[in-house]
Amino acid sequence: MNMRQRWTKQTLIFGGAAAWGLLLISCVMANRTIVAPAKIAGATYVGTKECAQCHSDQTDHFASATHARLALSDPKVGDIGCEACHGPGSQHVKAGGGKGTIINPRKSPETCFQCHLDKRGQFSLPNTHPVLAGKIGCVDCHDVHEGSAVKGSGAALESELETCTKCHTAQKGPFVFEHAAMKEGCTACHNPHGTVNQKMLVARDANLCLRCHLEAPGATPAGVINANAINSGVQNHNARLMQGTCWSAACHEAPHGSNANNHFRY
Amino acid sequence: MKLFFSPVVRGTSLLVGALLALAAAPTRGADKAVADDAFPNFESYIKISGQAPSVTGDVSSFQTRTQTQHNGGAGIEDYHYAKEASKDTTVQFDGHALVGTEDYLAQFRINKNEVGSVDFGYKRFRTFYDGVGGFFPTSSQWMPLTQRLLFLDRGNLWVSATLALPNAPVFSFRYSNETRNGQKDSTIWGDSDFTGMPNNNPPISQVRKFMPSYINIGERTEKLELSMKHTLGKTSFQVTLLGEDIKNLDTLYTTRFPNEVKPYPAPASTVLLPALNMNNQVIAQTGNGTASRATSFLATTETPFNDKLKLNTGFSYQLLHSDYSGDRSIITSTATTATGVIVGSGLSAATGVVPVQTYQYQSIAGGSHIKEFKFNAALTYAATKDISLKLAVKREQEYVLGAGTYTVVAASGTPATTTASTPRFEWSNITQNATTPEAEIRFTGIKNLALYANASKRCLSGTEYDSSAYNPLTAAAGTLVASNVSEDHGNYTVGANWRQSMLLTLRAELFSKNHQNESTGFGTRLGDYYLLDNRFTGVKLTAIVKANEALSFTTRYLNQAGKMKVTGFLPTFPAYDSCDAKNQSIGETIDWTPATSFYAQANVNLVYNNINTVYPNAGIAPASGTSQAWDVNMVLQDSKNNYLTTTLLLGAVMTKTDDLQLQWNYYRADDGNTALAVRTMPYGVVAKDVAVTVGLKHKFSDKMVGNAKLGYFDSTNGTTGGLTNFHGPIGYVSIEYGL
């Protein structure tokens, strides 16, 4: 096999030595600490009790938060629930607050990415909310200080739908004919963290719809799909699916709900 | 192979080992006092920046991918001013103004201890869209929007105030005016015959839908919120009144069969376009206007009976009225005769094409009315310092009424010369009640171990009536649909967080979703039946390994699998599996800080995501033992959404005044299959993006820090046949000045 040897042993050794040498030089010339994002250089943990002195609005209800489930006390400073995300708070306490002394996840998702690695990947995709561009943040949709981080779950008053429709009001309705999928929430069809597909769809083709809209195979001629599961009429969608997806032009164009037609035709 | 890799592996291992051994010593100094040459942290500052990309290739795709203006931009990237105006009063101003990306913020806050605060401001940012539409590989056909540099501006103007006097109720007021204006593309693509596929060759259609479309968006939402928070005895409570007014006018523009005209009557010899391309161009403009007003009342209470027992309650009521209106104007183009003689009256001699309104609906108008009650209560009991229990329940009632009317206009004659209007009516009436109990337990009684479990079950029942024609343009009247609906949604989670040692932390969460949605027809729809049963289970595993203070590995693995099942029209059509979905994701982040003056952070995410529906398997018997149905049926194959992303970030202290940063990003998806074009639109994504950035941060003085970055990006997109590729350098400079 004729392999192109781009990284030889010599390259690694000399390159590594050069990099290490540069590092040693910088250590001699400078003595400050540099840290990767979502860290505070030189800070130590102080414990949640310190945080509560000024930020009781956030700490008072944190016990009910999803992330509190994971809380483990530090043997030295006790509960460090706040600092697990905001970073060690000694400099923040010492300075009496202020920017740059504490990590603010509202400004950067890096804190969240420390554990939610998969979300970093999803937000790197071409079709996503502009979180990496800094235009919105994780906390615009997730409340990490109280209750469920995924809004609308369990016995919470609000629904998942409300998280999305506070910005996407056109999809909120109400429509004369609601699509039942909206009851499952927007995430039934979209992944708000990002997908490879346009509009953050979990599937770009008709599989998106056919997951739920199936008429029994064999009820129609071989190879014919029937996307009309609820009504009894038999509609051959074979030629239509050759042309495009279910929500293509002049078909079921109103998947979020329609004011004109209960099949979301327009 | 062996000769090449073995020394490398051996040498690399030695090098890594040596670095690891060396690594711990310098980082132990991390908790020391801030170094004298540390970069300053400004309490108040202004940061001015500018960036200039030089894009070669498709600029609108560049804008969409990077959310950056292709001509660059400059302005105030960040401004922060904070001052203690007096001993108990703090004033703060934040802002930014970036021309190009059109990103603006001005926010003013003043806070006086034991009195209250005022906060007002305006925020606006732009998101970019590329109007790319689809690409058909067989004919290499691509007809993007004429104007592709689409964008939406989102704005928010707000003012809020809080009055928080000691030993008195806390009153809050907030008004916001959110807007969303501009144009964005849509996936409701129009049709084309320019596919290179055989014409009139049933059952295979020559038509594919890949013509781009876009939505003109004009939306505004005003909210007014008044709330009061107080504590009486042991009970703290909050009541909130919320008024919301939404005005939306969104119009979808779709073009079908562009550049195609159909000669009339069918030509004998002379044709205007090849016979393969016979069709009528259709331009559809669907306008939807909505004006809705909602009034909500929300009350919550919290009562700690003692250190162990706490009760939370909530109640909300919402009344919503919505008026809607719209039009669906469809204009078709009908050609002249084969000899060029114009048919009909009022036709354009210059173009030989006449716009005729054939089918449309006009003046759709109606409204909806929703009344919704919700109540919840949660009892939290801390049995011991290590065991916490929560029992909660939510009750919901919803009443929805919707009705509307519109006029269908149908042209008649050949070609169309007269129109006829027919009124249509449609309505719906929904009533539903739901109860959701929830239970949660948390246990921390074992050292370094946190355990939790959560279960909730939503049970809904209701009745739905509606009337609408399947095809409102052709059917004379709608069909009454009457059905009882029910939902049974169970969600279950069990998890653990175990800090085995300072070296190793493990987290695991198992989750299960078991949802059933059922609809049973009655009355005129007796016999209708639909049951959707979906069951998803999964696991999230996280391992954090801290080899030493300098090196840590974080691994996260997600595995989710689910099946969906549809039952309809018993007993004729029993339950069939309708979906089999699998998602596996593994991510790894490595943090390496071998010295206080250097860090490296690498992240990799590899995702396998496959959605399979019954269609590839339906109706076609496997051709043979080696050729399965899904190999044969190419109209719809599995939806594959696999991808890989990686990020590498390196930072190093270079001198007393300079830091260096290097960033590398990579994304790749290879889910395409152009062979599917024979029978369908091949939607699978094929793309690769690479971006490299080198940055230098320089301290000019204790008051001023500069930052310069130079990057290069390269994006290739096989989904659009490479026609939206772009590449080029990008430069960025900033100056941050402490005030």
Q: What ipTM did this prediction achieve?
A: 0.89
Please determine, for residue A212, whether its predicted confidence score (pLDDT) is greater than 60: yes
Residues 131-190 of A with CB under 8 A from B: 133, 135, 153-157, 167, 169-170, 172-178, 180, 183-184
Residue of B nearest to A63 (CA): B388
User: Of B433, B487, B485, which Cα lies nearest the Cα of B457?
Assistant: B487
Whether A234 contacts chain B with CB within 8 A: no
pLDDT recorded at residue B653:
92
Residues 384-443 of B with CB under 8 A from A: 388, 390, 392-394, 400, 402-404, 406, 426-428, 430, 436-438, 440, 442
Best probe of the B interface among A5, A12, A24, A32, by most B CBs < 10 A, is A32
**H or E stretch at A27:** helix A9-29
Residue of B nearest to A180 (CA): B517
SS3 B657: coil
Which tokens in the block code for residue B99?
């021309």
More confident residue, B76 or A36: B76
Q: Which residue of A7, A33, A101 is in closest CB contact with B596?
A: A33
Best probe of the A interface among B524, B589, B596, B608, by most A CBs < 10 A, is B596
pLDDT recorded at residue A59:
86
**H or E stretch at B209:** strand B208-232
pLDDT recorded at residue A146:
86
Residues 584-613 of B with CB under 8 A from A: 585, 587-589, 591, 593-601, 603, 605, 607, 611-613
CA distances from B194 to A244, B273, B348, B353, B420 (A): 14, 11, 26, 20, 33
Q: What is the pLDDT of residues A122-151, one digit of tens each?
A: 999 999 999 998 899 999 999 888 888 888
Q: What is the pLDDT of residues A62-91, one digit of tens each?
A: 888 888 887 777 666 666 688 888 888 888
Residue of A nearest to B586 (CA): A118
Q: Per the CB < 8 Å rule, is A37 touching B649?
A: yes
Which tokens in the block code for residue B373?
């009650």
Q: Per the CB < 8 Å rule, is A249 touching B256?
A: yes
Longest distance between any two alpha carbons in chain A, whole Å: 80
CA distances from B612 to A60, A239, A252, B580 (A): 46, 20, 21, 5
Rounded Cα distance between B86 and B90, Å, is 7
Q: Which residue of B7, B438, B478 is in closest CB contact with A155?
A: B438
Residues 6+ apart with CB under 8 A from A4: none
Domain definitions of chain B by residue range: 1-30, 74-113, 127-271+282-304+317-338
Best probe of the A interface among B219, B525, B564, B578, by most A CBs < 10 A, is B578
pLDDT recorded at residue A7:
58
pLDDT recorded at residue B213:
95
Q: Per the CB < 8 Å rule, is B613 touching A214?
A: yes
Whether A241 contacts chain B with CB within 8 A: yes
Q: How far is B261 from chain A (nearest CA, A)?
A: 18
Q: Which amino acid appears at position A150 of this protein?
A: V
User: Of A215, A99, A185, A173, which Cα lies nearest the Cα of B576?
Assistant: A215
The answer to which of A151-155, A197-201, B207-211 has the lowest mean pLDDT is A151-155
Place of tokens 């603010």: A104
Instruction: List chain A residues with CB under 8 Å of B649.
Output: 36-37
A19 — pLDDT class (breaks 50, 70, 90): low
Whether A28 contacts chain B with CB within 8 A: no
Pairs of CB atoms within 8 A across A/B:
474
Instruction: List chain B residues with CB under 8 Å of A121.
Output: 585, 587, 603, 605, 607, 643, 645
Residue A201 is classified by DSSP as: B
pLDDT recorded at residue B576:
78
Q: Which residue of B188, B614, B639 is in closest CB contact with A214?
A: B614
Burial of residue B374, with CB atoms counted within 10 A of its CB: 0-12 exposed, 13-18 middle, 19 or more buried: buried
Spans in chain B with pLDDT lower than 50: 1-6, 8-9, 11-32, 264-265, 267-277, 336-358, 619-631
Rounded Cα distance between B697 and B660, Å, is 6
The values of phi and psi at residue A215, to 5°, are -110, 150
